[in-house]
Structure 1
Amino acid sequence: MSNPANPWTADLDLLVGAARLAGARALDFFRKGPEVWWKNGGHSPVSAADFAANDILKKELLSARPNYGWLSEETDDDAGRLDCETVFVIDPIDGTRAFIAGKDIWCVSAAVVHRGRPVAGVLFAPSLDELFTAAADGVALKNGEPIHVTEPDASRSTRMAIPEDMTQDLHRGLSGGVHRISHVPSLAYRLAMVADGRIDATLVKRNAHDWDLAAADLILSRAGGALVTLDGEALLYNRPTVSHETLAAAGLSRLSGLVDASRHLAGH
């Protein structure tokens, strides 16, 4: 429900409705062998479900906010977005490989970015019936209930979902070492797992894109955490270049230690 004290809650409501529609459409294809194409030199799959969900999101969102810019993984980029203060940043299915394989961890990622930072964000995982939401200055919610990052606990290791080749030297840099969680196929969902406390932290390999990150970035920040560069800087979105360098995500009380322990992984 919109909150007059926070102008971005109306946009959040819009994102939620569109994401639910797009997620329902994607489910029509799930585990039914959708047609698949390969892009980026054959390294990145895209399915008929991605395009169908993207079409719904674009129609629902731009019809309601025609003055907003548009950036989506499954739409040819339009440099006109750079002239817009406010932009929709969309990944119709984050975790397409998992989707194609019939695995449940994939989600619709939808954000509103204003002057370079996300101000409304939604992650909807329809196969899991999970909805993560946040608006600027609001509370991060999962299925309507507040979520929060974990606090440091000296009695146990840091639970991290990271690629195996990024665990190098982290055991020595982090108090208590690292307990590596198995691969999470959706990057946006992995960041949501930090936000709701199922894991303590994660690292993001270079070349993640705005659409992978923007919604989850806001949800994590409203849950008491942050997604930053290995220089400790917040991310800016809707730039000419939409990819990012190696990143770190954790609760604020863990973040400086994680960044310090991870700087040698810059460029991964």
Structure 2
Amino acid sequence: MDLSPRNTPAPADAGTVAEQLAAVVVEAGGVARDMFARGITSWSKHNDSPVTDADIAVDTLLREKLGALAPDYGWLSEETADMPARLERRRVWIVDPIDGTRAFMAGGPDWAVAAALVEDGRPVAGALFAPVTQELFLAAAGRGATRNGAPIRASRAQAVAGARADGPAQWLARVDRLGTLARVPRIRSLALRIARVATGELDVAIAGPNGNDWDLAAADLLVHEAGGRLTDLDGLQLIYNAPVPRHGALVSAGTGLHPSVTEAARRDEE
């Protein structure tokens, strides 16, 4: 099928897609919680990261539900073998069935189901659902971001000293040279870590290298629509659905802190 721009159907309204994603991730989160309650089976993938039968079940549900909404869109998921055909699509569903699998396995609250629609390399609709805390985050391009229906806004903090921060210790230490950060307990889901910047509960979130599209796409749109930023260490926004869907170190923060934090994090890389 020729999916060049002239033959690609007009996109659905981003707000409508976000609502569709919301229904799907809430259903998926319920499946994961029910499976955990009954007892899950886990094993290690080729990169030694854990996976459970709940990850696979949720992946299957997401693909069935989202595929039914738009069969011609591409697909990229942590738990599905990558298919090069996605590179031929302008629009791609990018999902993480359970972001924070270790937290999920341990019975912790810091895991989530993440799903986004990416168009021409950037997310236009995203949903993130944290089943334990019953938080549903939604964003649509140009429409703002919400948590459980209430608008959210990134922090307007200006000072590094005392800024609430989460991320790998060695990266936060670079920023501490500008002023000592107030470190919060580690949020094991990267998507949720960035979502906490979107709500203003965190002023700064840092991700070490090797974050993947599925960890980031929905949260990227959330923080952007909440008035914050997520970029690489050069201050560039992320492009999704590349041949290798993986990214280097990243910084998310409100606009007041992002430039100085990014510069501090980058300094030792030069």
TM tier relative to shorter chain: over 0.9
Distance in 1, matches of 2:44 and 2:165, equals: 30
Deviation at 1:12, TM superposition (A): 1.0
Are the counterparts in 1 of residues 160 and 181 from structure 2 also a CA contact under 8 Å?
no
3-state SS of paired residue (1:195): helix
- Alignment CA distance shift 1:76-1:152 (3 Å): same
CA deviation map 1:136-192 (0-9, x unaligned): 00111000000111112549511111122223232223xx42111121110000000
Q: What is the aligned partner in structure 1 of residue 85 from structure 2?
A: 80
Deviation at 1:264, TM superposition (A): 3.0
Partner of 2:186: 183
How many residues are matched? 260
1:100 maps to which of 80, 84, 105: 105
Q: Distance between the aligned counterparts of 1:115 and 1:154, measured in 2?
A: 35
- Please report the TM-score for the alignment, with normalisation by the length of structure 1: 0.93
Give the deviation of 1:31 after TM superposition: 4.6
Aligned to 1:3: none
CA contact (8 A) 2:155 2:228 kept: no
5+ residue gaps, structure 2, are 1-11
Letter in 1 for 2:20: L
> What amino acid does structure 1 have at the position aligned with 2:45?
K
SS of the aligned residue for 2:36 comes to: coil
Task: Tell me the secondary structure at the aligned position of residue 187 of structure 2.
Answer: coil
Partner Cα separation in structure 2 for residue 16 and residue 119 of structure 1 = 14
Counterpart selection for 2:119 from 110, 114, 117: 114
Q: Which is further off, 197-206 or 159-168?
A: 159-168
SS of 1:211 mapped into structure 2? helix
Does 2:213 correspond to 1:216? no
Bigger shift: residues 216-225 or 11-20: 11-20
- SS of the aligned residue for 1:20 comes to helix
Q: Identify which of 221, 228, 231 aligns with 2:231.
A: 228
Give the AA of the match of 2:31. Answer: R
TM-aligned CA deviation for residue 226 of structure 1: 1.1
Q: Is the 8 A contact 2:76 2:95 kept in 1?
A: yes
Instruction: Work out whether 1:17 is the aligned partner of 2:20.
Output: no
**Following the alignment from structure 2 to structure 1, what is the Cα–Cα distance between the partners of residues 204 and 39?**
34
Q: Secondary structure of the residue that 2:182 maps to in structure 1?
A: strand
- Where in structure 2 are the equivalents of 1:163-174 lying within 5 Å? 163-173=168-178
- Give the alignment's TM-score, normalised by structure 2: 0.92
Q: Output the amino acid matched with 2:27.
A: L
The aligned residue for residue 161 of structure 1 is 166
User: Is the alpha carbon distance of 1:156 and 1:207 closer, same or farther for their aligned partners in structure 2, counting shifts above 3 Å?
Assistant: closer
